[in-house]
Chains A and B, each alone.
Chain A
């Protein structure tokens, strides 16, 4: 966002220059709007209008099948507040995020430092760690469903071979959500890793050399130089990972269907079920809007907290 603001202001100065010969201005206006038209139309029709329409639907009694059946004000939201299923989905989603976001962020930083060293063949390792990012979520979900199976799963087979007890990874109400957290970290960590790698490579070498001359240990250098200077990529990683965590859907739809014991129902899964299985478009829209509020709040808090420090 900060970049965008900076660029925006440079754009302003440039426009003044362009506008200098007034004769061609109207032509430019027209060309500008025409260039913009396709994207703007798409944006309005498929993003902006739906956003307000979501609010509109959530204020009505609205059946998937019969359409709008009357204005009900905040009744749908009120119903959500008293709905145990909704709170359960909220809690599951938050719990998942609280585990998966730190896990993926820490792993990403570790991997970034591991692949930062310019060794021969390091390109291969970078590509290998990034590979799961380009596999689709559906394929990744299918893969986990198979290899985490309690009977026929490869992971349990390996555990058994080294003498450890088999685990009901996808069948236990306490184990399933954390297991999915690990699986999704496998899928996405390569992405966060590349962000951290770019951050690491931007740190000037002489900072470390100076610290070394001052007698700082490697550990001290990490805490006093590396971490503070990774604040910006770190904020980016934490925000994007959190947003993704709160939108968890595909693995739930494919692997757990919200079970066992409703321990993996998530907000987006509930939105889908309400809208397309139980015909409750109004409840689904209200849940979607609640998700938006949570995400905005979360992002604002995280950015304020993480962006405060050193910029370079």
Chain B
């Protein structure tokens, strides 16, 4: 509340140059302090991943320059991590994330288009069903879903790992909104030219919806890459283990393997960070919207 007051106040003093400059400086100072609070833990994580094993906790206390920079930065942690079963876990995570993106974009976009543009009996009722399921937390259906997977023989399989995460009613909602905004004339023109529904969808609607599709792809990627509870439950063998679960296992032992945890965390965070920094605009939007799903 204090900040709000200060902010508005600087605005009222707009005429006075000195006051204005001081206000701007104070604002930057505050922004910077908060940024340090947000970034420091992440920076410390990255730096720690470069420490040799014996040095990991040695210089945490008392505080000194060594707390923030390793005496001899080394990549030995990376080498060790990559020589174990972690690369396989990374691969599984990548498979899960990419399959979720491809499957998610396809299935959700088709459904969204049907809801937006095609008329058929029961459409509004079914759309209502999609909206209602946004409210069902995954944690509630976890147990029965496991039993269903068990009876399908899908426990510890890729289909069991991937398929439940494909359909995202929220993405359907989002894409439908977007499709509704595409001028109908464009589609009609295409259909008069003899294009089928699918052809129109593929050649006209999708190319015009790239931003929305990127947003949905990002939601799906993040969901697949970060998934933890479901992979923890539905996979058991090392062959199917995803990276998030692998990291949890590194921490879960009698004495957590912190050296590897640091490195693995950095490796895991990297794709998310790169995607975020390159698609920031869509990302923030997807983040703001995907929150509905929780």
Within 8 A of B (CB), among A222-278: 222, 226, 236, 240, 243-244, 247, 249-250, 253-254, 268, 271-272, 275-276
Determine whether the beta carbon of A28 is less than 8 Å from that of B124.
Answer: no
On chain B, the residues within 8 Å of A190 by CB distance are 38, 287
Residue B39 contacts which of A43, A46, A131, A240 (CB distance < 8 angstroms)? A131
On chain B, the residues within 8 Å of A109 by CB distance are 4
CA distance A273 to B4 in the complex (A): 45
Residue B38 contacts which of A10, A116, A131, A281 (CB distance < 8 angstroms)? A131
For residue A303, give the distance in angstroms from its CB to the closest CB of chain B. 11
CA distance A8 to B12 in the complex (A): 44
Known: A46-B145, A134-B272, A138-B247. A35 touches B110 (CB 8 A): yes
On chain B, the residues within 8 Å of A46 by CB distance are 141, 145, 163-164, 167
Residue B140 contacts which of A54, A124, A131, A299 (CB distance < 8 angstroms)? A54
Determine whether the beta carbon of A43 is less than 8 Å from that of B133.
Answer: yes
Among B37, B135, B252, which residue has the most Cβ atoms of chain A within 10 A?
B135
On chain B, the residues within 8 Å of A36 by CB distance are 110-111, 114-115, 126
Q: Does B27 contact A (CB under 8 A)?
A: yes
On chain B, the residues within 8 Å of A39 by CB distance are 107-108, 110-111, 130, 167, 172
Q: Does A51 contact B (CB under 8 A)?
A: yes
Known: A50-B144, A146-B258, A219-B5. A136 touches B67 (CB 8 A): no
Determine whether the beta carbon of A51 is less than 8 Å from that of B141.
Answer: yes
On chain A, the residues within 8 Å of B128 by CB distance are 8
Determine whether the beta carbon of A222 is less than 8 Å from that of B8.
Answer: yes
Known: A39-B108, A47-B133. A138 touches B143 (CB 8 A): no
Q: Does A91 contact B (CB under 8 A)?
A: no
Within 8 A of B (CB), among A4-51: 4, 7-8, 10-12, 14-15, 18-19, 25, 28-29, 31-33, 35-36, 38-40, 42-43, 45-51
For residue B209, give the distance in angstroms from its CB to the closest CB of chain A. 15
Determine whether the beta carbon of A113 is less than 8 Å from that of B247.
Answer: no
Determine whether the beta carbon of B7 is less than 8 Å from that of A35.
Answer: no
Known: A47-B136, A249-B229, A288-B142. A42 touches B163 (CB 8 A): yes
Q: Does B41 contact A (CB under 8 A)?
A: yes
Q: Does B91 contact A (CB under 8 A)?
A: no
Q: Fill in one digit per residue for B1-34: 1 if any A CB lies within 8 Å of its CB, else 0.
A: 1011101110110000000000010011011001
Known: A110-B1, A136-B269. A43 touches B130 (CB 8 A): yes
Determine whether the beta carbon of A31 is less than 8 Å from that of B197.
Answer: yes
Q: Fill in one digit per residue for A97-141: 1 if any B CB lies within 8 Å of its CB, else 0.
A: 000000000000111011111010011111111111111111101
CA distance A4 to B237 in the complex (A): 42
Q: Fill in one digit per residue for B34-74: 1 if any A CB lies within 8 Å of its CB, else 0.
A: 11011101101100100000000100111100010000000
CA distance A153 to B111 in the complex (A): 49
Determine whether the beta carbon of B35 is less than 8 Å from that of A218.
Answer: no
Determine whether the beta carbon of B163 is less than 8 Å from that of A138.
Answer: no
Determine whether the beta carbon of A8 is less than 8 Å from that of B127.
Answer: yes
Determine whether the beta carbon of B222 is less than 8 Å from that of A222.
Answer: no
List 14 contacting pairs A-B, 8 Å CB cutoff, sorted by A. A12-B124, A32-B123, A33-B120, A36-B110, A36-B111, A43-B129, A50-B145, A115-B31, A116-B7, A125-B35, A126-B284, A191-B291, A254-B252, A275-B146
Please name 5 further chain A to chain B contacts, defined as beta carbons within 8 Å, in addition to the given A54-B140, A146-B261, sorted by A numbering. A31-B114, A119-B24, A128-B38, A143-B265, A218-B7
The 6 A-B pairs with the shortest beta carbon distances in the complex, nearest first, are A218-B8, A42-B167, A32-B120, A39-B111, A53-B144, A50-B141
